[in-house]
Structure 1
Amino acid sequence: MTYRIPLACCLGALLALVGCDGESPVERPDGCVPAARDHVTCSDGDLYWVDSCGARGELSQGCDAPCAPGATTCPDPEDPTSLYLEAEEGTVMAPFAIAADPDASKGRYVSVSGVPSTSTPQTSVTHPATLPESGDWHLWARVLAPSPDADAMYLGLDGELARVFPEVHGAYTWIAAPAPVRLEAGEHVVSVGHGEAGIRVDAFVLTLDPDRVPSTIPSASCGNGWVESPETCEGASACCDAATCTTTADCGPTVVLRHRKAFPDLWGEGAGEIRGGSGAGSVKFFITSLGDADVATAVPASGGVEAHYEGTLRGALGLAERRHIIPRVSGNVMLSSRLIVRGAERGGFTYHGHLAPEGGLATFGQGLVVQDTQDFAIRFLRARFGAHSRIGADDVVFLTRNEQVAIDHCSFAWGADETFTIGGAIGMTYVDVIAQNNLIAQSRDGHNTGSLIGWTSEGDGANGVVTWHDNVYVGVTHRTPNFAGDSGMFGRIHNNVVYDWSHRLTNVIGAARVDVSFNYYLRGARNPSVPASNYNQYQDLRGRRPYPPSLYSAGKLMPGVVDDPAADNRALWSYFGSSDPLDASLFRADPLPIDPDVGHQPSSAEDAYARHVLAREVGANRSTDAEGAPVVALDAVDEGYLAAIEAGTDAHLPESAWVNPDIPDSPAYEDANWNGIADAFEDAHGVTSADEVIVEWSFDGYRVVNEAGYDAFEIYSAWVAGDFARLLP
């Protein structure tokens, strides 16, 4: 994994390639169209701007002492042979990542987080160093160690590493490699390895002076991604014009990615623990067939093509490797038996359904079961069972005994038990389970239910943490969702839209701690007068299971019943099977705490309705065109469901109409090296590797600052999925 910070001169340069003076630059004979101020480098002893085609431009900074070729800062005039190097401007590989800090030199540093400490040195950061003279070179590193438990790193030259520790904690300081190294003039490499998570590595100094202890950093100038304001410089942008630097506000809206997750727009408790297919040793699995057989064919690397797998959806889900699953075909997969993913070894995957060719990939005929599996994300899957499903037995999607789960922008319908359920089992703990932006539609009459979360019985009850937000239920009679468990079961059920239910909404069972808030309940054409006894309910199991529950209920809307989001929501609750109101003592005045970094902060119920029903931002609504750009469209079934909600008409489809629409055989985007990224996207953004981590991205009308360390493939997938557009301020 390699980090790179592209430094385009102004917003949109990577796509529009417009010069900073507002004029379109001239294409050169080799076909390159330059962006004027791409980066700064030393030439003839001073620092010059270099354009994106590699040509030297105007002077950036004159140096009091001549700089060395390739340097990006002027040397110390008191030590003119010394080199000053920025850690983040080298090659940065996992587990290191680049992050921002105004106290760091040029505002950025490299560090490791979320991985165990190690005493086995392995080079993960390198920076080239052109030594002007032969001699005994002393190496220093500017670091910040937060504590004695997070202060070890490996430092050296040309791959020879030694473990070093700073004496100062909580502030930047300079530490030296244990001994000077005799080196000949010419090309060498500063090497850094991971020791303990948390230490920040900012910059390096190489000097021939045995008595020099670095104490300062070079003064800031507009260049290398800096922005100069009247008082200070902030390492946050690369928006410069020919004369001055401006604030980041002039660069347009900016999305800053600060936290690593399975994908950027994942929100819920524990989202930072879900990585899916991302991580060391991950492979790409391309679905190249609509067949139902278990096919997984390993394709070795050759001729510029990366090693990968090809095969079927069943083969992709059954593979026991960390993987990104990418459909390269569009159409319906007719399942002859359940798709079953079982066992921890088959976890660690992300299904990128939105990267399928236009129209997407859908399953029909059987359900999906994921059991005893950890760490997976499923995005933009369209799965429907059919009228042959067995009443009371067949879910469309059934997940049980899993941990670290994210289900996002999926469309599920036409089962015969629950449509989409997170089933329980005795002794089960729900660890970091998130379902968001899913369209959950009707199942067979006679058992037309939505979702079960949790478990409680005479002998046991579930515990864990579940976030269930921004989903749309349409045409199911009840369980929207049900939530059961003991006092260690925490749920946040926010911003869901429910249309045309009949029996009840959410039923809380046992002693669970749950917020049911900011949901939008709309009575429908089939059930226009649902009685108050069929709203939210609580099922009292005292004497058999722990009691009481802990409920928070606020901000919900039910047009014609509760029209004021500030109204007391307790009127929407009763005991199970009756119209008796709940005891006031069962309600909390305050919601459960929400993780400020990755937790889901609910919006209003009205906003949720507008977002999901009116704007159609729900379900499997994305695929790609032949260039790899996003196509935003629901299929006819999902569009029909949402149109019925919007119009207030009957959304119920008769079982005779339960047939997936035909999906055209659309061309997949060009991906010459089979790394999962469309060639057109790579060309537009200068991507050279799917594993590359580019910090600053420019899209049409906005910027993305990738402090979290997502690689280029993950950025491409998130762009197609609409993650950044939804995250815009």
Structure 2
Amino acid sequence: MLASLLVNLGLVTLAASPISALAFPGAVGFGSIATGGTGGTSYVVTNLNDSGSGSFRDAVSESNRIITFAVSGYIVLESAVSLSSDLTINGTTAPSPGIGVMAGEVSASDQSNIIIVGMRFRQGSDDPDTGKSAFNMGDAANVILDHCSFAYGQWDTVDAVGAVNITLSNSIIAFPIYQQFGAHVETGPATYFGNLWVSAHNRQPLAKSNTQYINNVIYNYQAAYTTADTSGSFYHDIINNYFITGPSTSSASDRYYQIQSNQYAYASGNYGDATNDGVLNGAQENEIGSATVLSSPWSSTSTSMVKWTAAEAVTNVLASAGALPHDQVDALAITQVQSYGTQGELYGDQSDTGLSNGGYGTL
């Protein structure tokens, strides 16, 4: 459904619609200004090979491309893949059950104007480089990742040190291994909208930037929204998110973690459920650590971006976040969230999930 919707909305033919100010219709946040492969050529990925003609690696090796997929399944990476600038990567065009990459990092570092929709990024321990992440965009600019699924990141699941104008929206960030970190953005500004965060030790996200954090659902956290030792003062709009504890949560109050008085936060409509009783029955939780309280959002676009109450976000994010249709990894994450406190754990390796294909699940 998502594929046909985005095709109908014009994402695939983005090059023919340069008048749009958005990366694609419905795009939100600071990364929505990404132009992707507008005006470029089309490239169809025709096989699941690691390299060579028709491969994903070959597709992203040159700028100014709109990339679609004629195949479905996992692309098993033998080494990290580096993206070029000015790319649109539309995973929703892959035949059911969709497309993903596993066993390596995909990197947009030092690149700009990248649009990625409907992709699965599953690094895992099959990647021997523990210093890499599932998706890296260090020093990148103008990047939007929408309806993507990230899992088994070793360093961070999503890493974006020095990144400018970033959006992570309608995505699933689940089951990081090794350091067990979710996402890390420095510099910014950055937008996180409508995402599902599941079972991480910390960094959901680590927000060392001016940040919009709206309509996210965070489950089985040890530390969720974090600023830590930022060495800088940043502004945070934290609106209508739902924080739900799970078996791995040691302190429910760590939904906001290491946030000092040099941070400025507008917080409204956020809920926390700390009962672990199998029922969603939280209460408002809008005290953001020691942050200096703002009486109104710092960003002029934050209020208009809100789509749901926190409770509505749980329903809608569980139904529609991530690459669609949901595969085994995402289905496991969603099932654990729907237990509302009774299921879930922090995994040390993807194989610990017990899923097929060594824990990666089968596409």
TM-score by length of 2: 0.84
Aligned equivalents of 1:594 and 1:392: distance in 2?
39
Partner residue of 2:140? 402
Query: Contact 2:245–2:252 (CA<8 Å) still a contact in 1?
Result: no
User: After superposition, where does 1:327-346 map in structure 2 within 5 Å?
Assistant: 327-341=69-83, 346=84
Which of 442, 453, 456 aligns to 2:175? It is 442
Partner residue of 1:229? none
Partner residue of 1:523? 245
- CA offsets 1:178-229 (integer angstroms, 9 cap, x no match): xxxxxxxxxxxxxxxxxxxxxxxxxxxxxxxxxxxxxxxxxxxxxxxxxxxx
Which of 498, 523, 526 aligns to 2:218? It is 498
Is residue 2:185 matched to residue 1:453?
A: yes
For the residue of structure 1 that corresponds to 2:305, the secondary structure is coil
Which of 313, 316, 328 aligns to 1:636? It is 328
Shift of 1:264: 0.6
Query: Contact 2:328–2:362 (CA<8 Å) still a contact in 1?
Result: no
- Runs of 4+ in structure 1 off by over 4 angstroms are 94-97, 389-392
Query: Contact 2:80–2:105 (CA<8 Å) still a contact in 1?
Result: yes
Partner residue of 1:415? 153
Shift of 1:539: 4.9
Aligned equivalents of 1:472 and 1:364: distance in 2?
20
Task: Report the structure, 1 or 2, having the larger helix content.
Answer: 2
User: After superposition, where does 1:445-484 map in structure 2 within 5 Å?
Assistant: 445=178, 447-454=179-186, 462=187, 464-484=188-208
Distance verdict in 2 for CA 1:270–1:438, change over 3 Å: closer
Distance verdict in 2 for CA 1:284–1:470, change over 3 Å: same
Shift of 1:269: 3.5
Letter in 1 for 2:213: I
User: After superposition, where does 1:91-240 map in structure 2 within 5 Å?
Assistant: none
Query: Contact 1:411–1:440 (CA<8 Å) still a contact in 2?
Result: yes
Is residue 2:293 matched to residue 1:587?
A: yes
Letter in 1 for 2:251: V
Query: Contact 2:133–2:156 (CA<8 Å) still a contact in 1?
Result: yes
Distance verdict in 2 for CA 1:333–1:437, change over 3 Å: same
Query: Contact 1:262–1:277 (CA<8 Å) still a contact in 2?
Result: no
For the residue of structure 1 that corresponds to 2:359, the secondary structure is coil
Is residue 2:39 matched to residue 1:317?
A: no
Letter in 2 for 1:513: Y
- CA offsets 1:395-443 (integer angstroms, 9 cap, x no match): 111111111111001111112111112223xxxxx43211101100112
Give the greater-gyration-radius structure (CA).
1
Shift of 1:287: 0.2
Partner residue of 1:126? none
Aligned-pair identity (%): 23
Is residue 2:275 matched to residue 1:275?
A: no
Partner residue of 2:45? 287
Aligned equivalents of 2:131 and 2:31: distance in 1?
31
Letter in 1 for 2:73: G
Partner residue of 1:32? none
For the residue of structure 2 that corresponds to 1:492, the secondary structure is strand
Which of 233, 248, 255 aligns to 1:511? It is 233
* Contiguous gaps of at least 5 residues in structure 1: 1-93, 98-112, 115-258, 296-310, 425-429, 455-461, 541-546, 575-581, 622-632, 664-729
- CA offsets 1:491-520 (integer angstroms, 9 cap, x no match): 111111110011443336330111122111
Aligned equivalents of 2:127 and 2:331: distance in 1?
23
Query: Contact 1:414–1:444 (CA<8 Å) still a contact in 2?
Result: yes
Distance verdict in 2 for CA 1:525–1:95, change over 3 Å: closer
Is residue 2:338 matched to residue 1:620?
A: no
Which of 166, 176, 189 aligns to 1:433? It is 166
- CA offsets 1:261-317 (integer angstroms, 9 cap, x no match): 22112111462x3221223xx21100001101143xxxxxxxxxxxxxxx1100111
- CA offsets 1:583-631 (integer angstroms, 9 cap, x no match): 6xx11011123349x9623531111111012xx201111xxxxxxxxxx
Distance verdict in 2 for CA 1:642–1:394, change over 3 Å: same
- CA offsets 1:39-71 (integer angstroms, 9 cap, x no match): xxxxxxxxxxxxxxxxxxxxxxxxxxxxxxxxx
Query: Contact 2:15–2:38 (CA<8 Å) still a contact in 1?
Result: no
Query: Contact 2:108–2:137 (CA<8 Å) still a contact in 1?
Result: yes
Letter in 2 for 1:638: D
Query: Contact 1:406–1:434 (CA<8 Å) still a contact in 2?
Result: yes
TM-score by length of 1: 0.43
Partner residue of 1:35? none
Partner residue of 2:305? 600
Is residue 2:25 matched to residue 1:264?
A: yes
Is residue 2:360 matched to residue 1:655?
A: no
Aligned equivalents of 2:159 and 2:283: distance in 1?
31
For the residue of structure 2 that corresponds to 1:553, the secondary structure is strand
Is residue 2:72 matched to residue 1:326?
A: no
Aligned equivalents of 2:129 and 2:82: distance in 1?
20
Is residue 2:267 matched to residue 1:553?
A: yes
The Cα RMSD (Å) is: 2.7
Distance verdict in 2 for CA 1:641–1:325, change over 3 Å: same
- CA offsets 1:425-462 (integer angstroms, 9 cap, x no match): xxxxx4321110110011224x10101111xxxxxxx3
Aligned equivalents of 1:369 and 1:513: distance in 2?
27
For the residue of structure 1 that corresponds to 2:334, the secondary structure is helix
Query: Contact 2:175–2:198 (CA<8 Å) still a contact in 1?
Result: yes
- CA offsets 1:661-701 (integer angstroms, 9 cap, x no match): 333xxxxxxxxxxxxxxxxxxxxxxxxxxxxxxxxxxxxxx
For the residue of structure 2 that corresponds to 1:558, the secondary structure is strand
User: After superposition, where does 1:17-32 map in structure 2 within 5 Å?
Assistant: none
Query: Contact 2:192–2:214 (CA<8 Å) still a contact in 1?
Result: yes
Aligned equivalents of 2:129 and 2:15: distance in 1?
49
Aligned equivalents of 1:538 and 1:525: distance in 2?
21
Partner residue of 1:646? 338
Equivalent pairs counted in the alignment come to 335
